Chains A and B, each alone.
Chain A
């Protein structure tokens, strides 16, 4: 059973701070890793994907991957109230469907 684990939160950070969201996965053969943002009552939207060890930056977002530790994280710099949402980690092995974590709820306090 492939599992993706996330702290459900809520994670509360003040506006302007760095939010750090973490995810661990059970399948060592996993190859691709995705972060989705889901606002309340809306469908998930893709923020970033990463497949190589290390960091990948896109604007205020940085994804970090450590395959040896089976750990992927998402950093949000200069957090804004509009970043308040649930963040879903998803993992793929080969061409199998994405396996999603249950998500971490982030609250950015103005």
Chain B
């Protein structure tokens, strides 16, 4: 697509429920990233996919968080047993990936998750 598409744009869920957030990156972008941004905070890295390589999961805050990327394109971030501290804007980004890559990321419009 022309840009990074995320859905849903807003999600309100009850504490303890599972949620799935979807990201459709720019066509041809091999790298896909998930970040989250809490109110007044910077972007916190969660997970990174690069082509067919094993994902870098080093930023996932707990084992309640998981993500997959099917067919090297669409990605789903799943949060199980949501807690109130999971409330944040979840941002997906994609980029071209080259050795010595100097290209920045293109972000989607984000999913605002509210856990009540």
Residues on A facing B (Cβ under 8 Å): 31-32, 34, 36, 42-46, 49, 51, 88, 90, 92, 95-103
Interface size on B, residues (CB 8 A): 24
- Separation in Å of the A24 CB from the closest CB of chain B? 14
Known: A95-B97, A97-B56, A103-B42. A43 touches B102 (CB 8 A): no
Q: Decide if B45 touches A99 in the complex (CB within 8 Å).
A: yes
Partner of A100, one of B42, B103, B106, B110: B42
* A88 contact set on B, CB distance < 8 A: 42-43
B83 at the interface (CB under 8 A from A): no
What is the CA–CA distance of A45 and B102 in the complex, to the nearest angstrom? Answer: 15
Residues on B facing A (Cβ under 8 Å): 33, 35, 41-43, 45, 48, 50, 56, 59, 91, 97, 99-110
Q: Decide if A45 touches B50 in the complex (CB within 8 Å).
A: no
Q: Decide if B109 touches A46 in the complex (CB within 8 Å).
A: no
What is the CA–CA distance of A43 and B32 in the complex, to the nearest angstrom? Answer: 16
Q: Decide if B109 touches A42 in the complex (CB within 8 Å).
A: yes
Known: A88-B42, A102-B42. A95 touches B101 (CB 8 A): yes
- Separation in Å of the B99 CB from the closest CB of chain A? 7
* B110 contact set on A, CB distance < 8 A: 43
Q: Decide if A97 touches B102 in the complex (CB within 8 Å).
A: no
Q: Decide if A49 touches B108 in the complex (CB within 8 Å).
A: no
* A45 contact set on B, CB distance < 8 A: 107
What is the CA–CA distance of A99 and B41 in the complex, to the nearest angstrom? Answer: 13
- Separation in Å of the B56 CB from the closest CB of chain A? 7
What is the CA–CA distance of A100 and B36 in the complex, to the nearest angstrom? Answer: 11
